[in-house]
Amino acid sequence: FFYGWILTFVSFFFWGGFSYSLTEVIRRYLVISAGAQATNLEIQIVLVSASLASFFGTFILVPFESVRIRSVAQPDFGKNIFDVTKRMITEEGAWSLFSAAPPLLLKEVPFAMAKFSIFTAVTRYLYQTFPAAQEDIQLSLLVSLIGGIFGGAMAAIISNPADATISEMKKSVSDMTPLEAANNVIERGGYPNLMRGLPIRMAFYPLVV
């Protein structure tokens, strides 16, 4: 269950630090630029901030994900993550670490947009419906929890097809393109197969968000 946890920790550490920080920097810049209209444009500002930050953050995440998936799918591929990385670069070229970038972008950008926008919309609605929650720390935390559950669940649904495609691409040595990987997934179980693993992701990502 914990195989590959080191790469998961390292990748989310750097990706999270970069993408969340950049999202906030862009959001604050857009809020200042929008001036008095910032409140009315809150969701649009969140969508733009999240999409731009996740676009750049993807290129930090993708090499870690490529190595992690290979390590889990082929445990004998290398003795440790450094061996796996070295062998992938030697046998497949450095580009192989980034070859999953297109489908990962199709996963991460919609994921971030759904995560932040749904969280913002749900929490704003709850604060408007229950104004007292803004003054009570426990109710405020409950509002954030509910927003995170909805945001994480929707993000998991939207990004699942791209996640299934990435796993298909990187689990073995292959020159498979994202389109070929998606077709393989579909051929094995039809279009519903693109949603495989969704229950686990819908349990995991609400907790993360």
50-89: pLDDT as tens digits: 999 999 999 999 999 889 888 888 888 888 888 999 999 9
* Residue that wins the pLDDT comparison between 190 and 209: 190
- Tell me the residue type at 189: G
CA-CA distance, 190 to 196, in Å (whole number)? 11
* 95-107 per-position pLDDT tens digit: 889 988 888 898 8
Q: What DSSP element (H or E) covers 149?
A: helix 137-170
> Which residue carries 């405020």 as its tokens?
140
pLDDT value, residue 8: 85
What pTM does this model have? Answer: 0.79
Judging by beta carbons within 10 Å of its beta carbon (0-12, 13-18, 19+), is residue 13 exposed, middle or buried? Answer: exposed
CA distances to 1, 88, 93, 140, 188 from 77, rounded to whole Å, are 18, 9, 16, 47, 25
- Tell me the residue type at 55: F
Is residue 163 over pLDDT 90? no
Largest CA distance in the chain: 60
* 11-60 per-position pLDDT tens digit: 889 999 999 999 999 999 999 999 999 989 999 999 999 999 999 999 99
Instruction: With beta carbons less than 8 A apart as the criterion, state whether 30 and 48 touch.
Output: yes
Sequential DSSP letters for 14-54:
HHHHHHHHHHHHHHHHHHHHHGGGTTTTHHHHHHHHHHHHH
